[in-house]
Structure 1
């Protein structure tokens, strides 16, 4: 009996040692929750837990490295902190990994402490279960509420309809009774007077032809004005927002993620036209972002599957194989629907407004709209694009709209270019345009000349 207890105790001690050793080897001595934060901040650009991105999938990497290569966590510490140094030392496996993944250099992380790396490895070994989305409870509550309200709403609607029908029947009955009373009270003199009343349109026109002609003239003028007003608004599409072949939310990219407009529309600053970005620009980010993870923001009526499907459209357009992490060479052109399109007879240069007129336009807009200020010059014409899920034409873009802007936008005569270019014209312009204490607007320097915009 004693020997059995002794054997049992030794077995428990061995199991405990084995478990503690395994936990130490496979990354359980770190904090997975903190590791998740560090992983998302430092690793998600190139790695995912469950699939290869730029680098390999990292779930269970500690155990996999130990089983396949006989390497421990100390090797991972060296690799993460400075993989270049590890490769330069002649480490065989470090150079094999470098060759296997197309010689793509991994970023070095000297800022991560040993504890930080242990936390990250603990996360890759045993990632914590995702917290249930709060929006689900809200949706369930809303659905339950709507289910309770539905019968009440239906009953109320029925009561209203019945009441209206009853009121309508009562009104018809009253009208019939009034008609009977009128017939009973009509005298013989009144009947004779009715026979002498005018009963044809011709008689009315002959009697009141001057008034009739005047009314016809007024109606003709109103009709002409209506036709003219309709013609003037041909080609004005304020509020136009067509559906695009690939859904792209500026609110997510420019608003939530704070991506600068000119990162994608690079030619807007130094070119005449702000071009539609190439799909390769999208792939700068979406090569490593293959699924939508910003579940805190989703447009009503859309779910994660919808956004993931749109990312797959980008891959199909560029010929990107996300599994093999390489281009197939089979591309599909995207037929975007153009929203802003100036007529062929109008010249507009983005660079002139984005570079030369940037601060002047921003200052003028904020002065005229103190409760709706902008921080980027693009918003003066295109509206607050960072709040739009679907881009729409925010302004009229008519000739009158442009002229009004030129008449009210003050030119910065103190910047280097204007100060030198208009050196001999400053005094003359101030005398010629004395309004607002000698402030000079765009129209004073040729902003209303026909040849500036038409050729």
Structure 2
């Protein structure tokens, strides 16, 4: 009995050592959940678990470096904390990796503790299963409810249509019967009167020609007004939102991700036109963002596969090979559909409004729209574009619309440019335009002169 107990204890000790050794080999002696947070905060710009981005995929990296380079986790600690120092020491495997991945230097992470690195490696070895998304379940339930409701709605519609057709048939039958009764009840005297009735338009016109001329005159005026109104709205496309060759949601980029408008439309602040950003601007971010992972927001009717496919269109346009992480030189032009397009005879300078008029326009808009305030000057003309999945023309962009804005927007005389340029005209303008206690609007400084916009 004693001998058996001794062997039993030895067996337990051996199993414990084996398990601890195994855990150490496969990098699971850390906290995978905390490692996931650290991985997303520090690594996702250049790495993914299951595919190459800028650097190699990191799933199973502990076992891979052991197999390829014969190194252990201590080597990975040195590589992550300061790979430059490791390469400079002459480490063969470190320099092989550097050469293999186009001599792209990895960022150093001296701020990560040994425990942090162990947690990250534990995550790459055994990533925790994703938590069930309650929102997706709710979406599935709603979709199922909609699918069940669809046949019921269709049945109800059919019943209504059949009922209406039956009622219409009944009415026609009643009218026919009434007509027969009227014919049977007509006397000879009524038949004689019917023969004396006016039977042609000419006779009616001769009898009521004054009324006819008046009606024709009214119709002519209405027709002229209709033609004039139609002409005035040529080129006014408020609400126009065409489909683009690559789907780009401003709600995701400017709304959800809070990307500043001028990061992409940089020339709006310094040039006349806002310009369409080149595809290389998109690649500043999408070089490392190759798939859509923002599951918290998806437009109705679109899924992850749809968004991933649009990112692939960016790669095709720029000639980017995501696997090799390099440009192939084979580019494809993107034929964007223009939405906002001023006529050639209209001069409009974005920089003048975005820089000199920024605060004045924001203040004026918020004063006129207290329940719909804006925080960026772009929204005054283009609407709340950070809420649009598909960009649309938010305003009329007519001459009257511009003039109304110039007549109601107060000039910011504390603006450095205005303060210096109109230094000797302030008092004169206040006397000349005494409305609202001497406040100066854009029209007071030439904002409605023809030559300012037409040249």
TM-score bracket, normalised by the shorter chain, equals: over 0.9
How big is each residue's C-alpha offset from its partner over 1:407-449, in whole Å with a ceiling of 9 and x where there is no partner?
A: 1111001222111111111111111111111111111101111
- Kindly tell me: are residues 182 and 233 of structure 1, through their superposed partners in 2, closer, same or farther at Cα, counting changes over 3 Å? same
Distance 2:232 2:59 in 1: 63
Structure 1 residues 325-347: Cα deviation after superposition (integer angstroms, max 9, x where no partner)? 11112212212121111111111
Match of 1:152 in 2: 152
Residue 279 (structure 2) aligns with: 279
Report deviation, 1:168.
2.1
Which residue of the partner structure matches residue 141 of structure 1? 141
Q: Secondary structure at the match of 2:58?
A: coil
Q: Structure 1 residue 162: deviation in Å?
A: 3.3
Shift of 1:8: 6.9
After superposition, the Cα gap between the structure-2 partners of 1:153 and 1:277, relative to the gap in structure 1 and judged at 3 Å, is closer
Alpha-carbon displacement from aligned partner over 1:263-318 (angstroms, at most 9, x marks no partner): 11111111111111111111111111111111222222222222112111111111
* Partner of residue 176, structure 1: 176
- Residues 331-370 of structure 1 deviation map (CA, whole Å, 9 limit, x = unaligned): 1221212111111111111110111111111111111111
Query: C-alpha separation between the residues in 2 aligned to 1:419 and 1:139?
Result: 57
Using a 3 Å threshold, how does the CA distance of structure 1 residues 352 and 151 change in structure 2: closer, same or farther? closer
Residues 100 and 166 (structure 1), Cα distance of their counterparts in 2 relative to 1, 3 Å cut? closer
Distance change in 2, residues 1:12/1:134 (3 Å)? same
SS in 2 for 1:397: coil
Matches of 1:258 and 1:272, distance apart in 2: 25
CA distance in 2, matches of 1:98, 1:209: 98
C-alpha spacing 1:425/1:234, structure 2 compared with 1 (3 Å): same
Pairwise CA distance, 1:10: 4.2
1:184-241, CA deviations, whole angstroms, 9 ceiling, x for partnerless residues?
4434443333332222211111111111111111111111111111111111122222
Query: How far is 1:135 from its partner?
Result: 4.5
Alpha-carbon distance, 1:63 to partner: 2.0
CA contact (8 A) 2:356 2:415 kept: no
CA deviations over 1:359-414 (Å, ceiling 9, x no partner): 11111111111111111111111111111111111111111111111111110012
RMSD: 2.3
CA distance in 2 between partners of 1:367 and 1:448 (Å) = 21
Q: Relative to 1, partners in 2 of residues 1:350 and 1:87: Cα closer, same or farther, differing over 3 Å?
A: same
* Partner SS, residue 310 of structure 2: helix
Q: For residues 147 and 275 of structure 2, what CA distance do their matches in structure 1 show? A: 49
Aligned residues of 2:32 and 2:122 also touching (Cα < 8 A): yes
Cα distance in 1 between the residues matched to 2:5 and 2:51? 48
Q: 3-state SS of the aligned residue for 1:401?
A: helix
Partner Cα distance (2:213, 2:145) in 1: 63
After superposition, the Cα gap between the structure-2 partners of 1:151 and 1:241, relative to the gap in structure 1 and judged at 3 Å, is closer
Distance 2:423 2:13 in 1: 91
Q: 1:75-128 CA distances to partner (integer Å, 9 max, x unpaired)?
A: 333332333444455545444433433333322333333332221111101011
What's the secondary structure of 2:418's corresponding residue?
A: helix
Q: Give 1:134 deviation, angstroms.
A: 3.3
Q: Bigger shift: 175-184 or 114-123?
A: 175-184
Residues 262 and 154 of structure 1: is their aligned pair in 2 closer, same or farther, counting only changes over 3 Å?
Answer: closer
Alpha-carbon distance between aligned partners in 1 of 2:283 and 2:254, rounded to the nearest angstrom: 16
In 1, distance between residues paired with 2:73 and 2:345?
Answer: 68
Give the direction of change, closer, same or farther, for the CA distance of 1:268–1:108 in structure 2 (3 Å limit).
Answer: same
Shift of residue 142, structure 1, vs aligned partner: 3.1
- Shift in Å at residue 58 of structure 1? 1.0
Q: CA deviation at 1:320?
A: 1.1
Question: How much has 1:29 moved relative to structure 2?
Answer: 1.7
Distance in 1 between residues matched to 2:446 and 2:299, nearest whole Å: 45
After TM superposition, give the deviation of residue 7 of structure 1 in Å: 6.0
Does the Cα contact within 8 Å between 2:62 and 2:121 map onto a contact in 1?
Answer: yes
How far apart, in 2, do the equivalents of 1:157 and 1:92 lie?
76
2:362/2:376 contact within 8 Å kept? yes
2 CA distance for matches of 1:151 and 1:232? 47
* Aligned counterparts of 1:350 and 1:319: Cα–Cα separation in 2: 32
* Whole-angstrom distance in 2 between the partners of 1:152 and 1:332: 48
Q: Distance in 2 between matches of 1:174 and 1:107?
A: 88
Q: Does 1:233 align with 2:233?
A: yes
Q: C-alpha distance in 2, partners of 1:397/1:153? A: 42
Runs (5+) with no aligned partner, structure 1? none
Offset at 1:158? 3.7
**TM-score normalised according to structure 2 size:** 0.93
Greater mean deviation of Cα atoms: 266-275 or 84-93: 84-93
Secondary structure of the 1:108 match is: coil
Cα deviation for residue 243 of structure 1 reads: 1.6
Q: Distance in 2 between matches of 1:357 and 1:423?
A: 17
Whether the 8 Å CA contact 2:62–2:72 is kept in 1: the answer is yes
Q: In structure 1, the residue corresponding to 2:93 is in which secondary structure?
A: helix
